[in-house]
Structure 1
Amino acid sequence: MPRVLLIEDDHAVRQGITLALCRGGHEVAAAVTGEDGLRLLRSFRPDVVVLDLMLPGVPGLDVCRGIRVLDPVLPIIMATARGDDEDIVVGLEAGADDYVVKPVQARVLGARIRAVLRRAGGAPVGSGIPRIDTYGDLSIDRAGFSVTRQNVPVALAPSELRLLLTLSASPGQVFSRQQLLEAVWEHSYHGDARLVDACVKRLRTKLGEPPREPRYIQTVRGFGYRFAAQ
């Protein structure tokens, strides 16, 4: 039974989401504030966090960053009452794997949770014999779903890992943002390219990529991204 930590200050919204998730077969622990949510994170040990962006006390963005410090790979779905571009981008860059805009439809949230849990489960991308690929100081273990840089493990969130696996499976191939949304986030509709761009930015940072001249994950302007096997 998947364990969901819900951090939401609105009583009605919290009750409604909790009921819907429980009916969907999830075990739910709910917190009203970010401080309570971070405490529950240690004791409840969730499989995924659903985090409201607008919280009293500690803001949702700071809670997201705090979760990432405590658990770099725990899937986080951000819920925002506004579709404001800046809020969404900042939230994704703070470490969220996906987002939903409130009022949240139960079936949409359920689908997003299932998707991030599949990503967290390490489902392989592509086909072929599992292997360890080495590119300079970067090693990608496709069987163990792990990444090292200069022999030091790199802690990647599920979406970051799947993005790297997808791109590096076909070095030199240019992937459009829509292709990456479908492969990594399982968004088959015309999805939000901000998910891709924010994840690329986080991934580059964790891989120690120079911001202006990234070595591995390169932008192809007007098209998308490619992995350069240098």
Structure 2
Amino acid sequence: MRSAIHFFSYHLFLRRSRRVVEAAGFRLAVLPTVFDPRRFLTSEFFAGFIGTLDLRGRAVADVCTGSGILALAAARAGADRVVALDINPQAAQAVAENAARNGLADRVVTAASDLLSAVAARPLFDVVIASPPSFPGEPRDIADRAWVAGPDYRDIAGLFEQAGERLNPDGCMYVLFSSDSDLHRLGRLIAEAGFSARLVAERSIGFEVFVVYELRR
């Protein structure tokens, strides 16, 4: 079933032409090769969770941002500064357009970046949020990197260490995975980066459960 969903998601949604969708109270341009937050339920679920956080006065990094829906949700929750990052340049372009479209361009900035590699070591962030690709496997192209993270999670292996280096001492990270992810492997990566994990939200869609973890050092 997972293989079938991946196949149809890639060909019907990730590779589609530009379109405008509404999700989590935002109107969003989705460019070709960018994850569609209307078609994939993880985005609205995670955006809803972010909306419950008090981010007033906080500096936030959104890694693997896609359309920018989570970055916008963080700004709407009160964050003073949100940096939205994605390895796909089309995603960075989409975020800039969507921040302006939704009146948040003064607080949301974006850059094409492999995880947090393009971000300076200072200033530090109070919160890092990430909805990285949940599954191991070799991506076909840049579009497929929204879905699979390389063999043994190669492409996101450095995510947690990089996040830890850029968080304030009392900062935290929120990350979303699927119950179909290799949670044991991801848990080891989290622990190796010096984080402890706490489940803070979950949503079942029958054959799959979306889970959000809070990570703290």
TM range (shorter): 0.3 to 0.5
TM-score (norm. length: structure 1): 0.32
Bigger-Rg structure (1/2): 1
TM-score (norm. length: structure 2): 0.34
More helix by share: 1
More strand by share: 2
